Amino acid sequence: MQRQLKTGISDVFPELTQDVIGRMRNAASPRLRAVMEILIRHLHAFVRESRLTQEEWGYAIDFLTRTGQICSQQRQEFVLHSDILGVSMLVDAVNHRSGVGILP
């Protein structure tokens, strides 16, 4: 049975999110700092919204570890994951908006 997702939990440990974002203040560039802040905010929001369990997080870490272990100079599995999740195509679309019907 799928656990019900609940909203309204943005108050769960908000100081952690702010602390982690604060660690980016000495990032190599303003752009890196901004991108990392967005990533941290969205990742923390995902954990809160999904109420991710420690077991589920463990599965995710194991999945990423195994993915890294099968990567080599000739085989880059993280690119495949990016493709499967639609991230590669979205990055292209965001950076090349001239195509008809790609973006409004």
Q: What is the pLDDT of residues 13-71, one digit of tens each?
A: 999 999 999 999 999 999 999 999 999 999 999 999 999 999 999 999 999 999 999 99
pLDDT at residue number 8: 60
Cα 13 to Cα 6: distance, rounded to the nearest angstrom: 16
The conformational region for residue 77 under phi > 0 = left, psi -120 to 50 = alpha, else beta, is alpha
Q: At which residue do the structure tokens 């954990």 appear?
A: 47
Confidence of residue 101 (pLDDT cuts 50, 70, 90): low
Q: Which two tokens stand for residue 85?
A: 């999740």
Q: What is the value of pTM for the model shown? A: 0.80
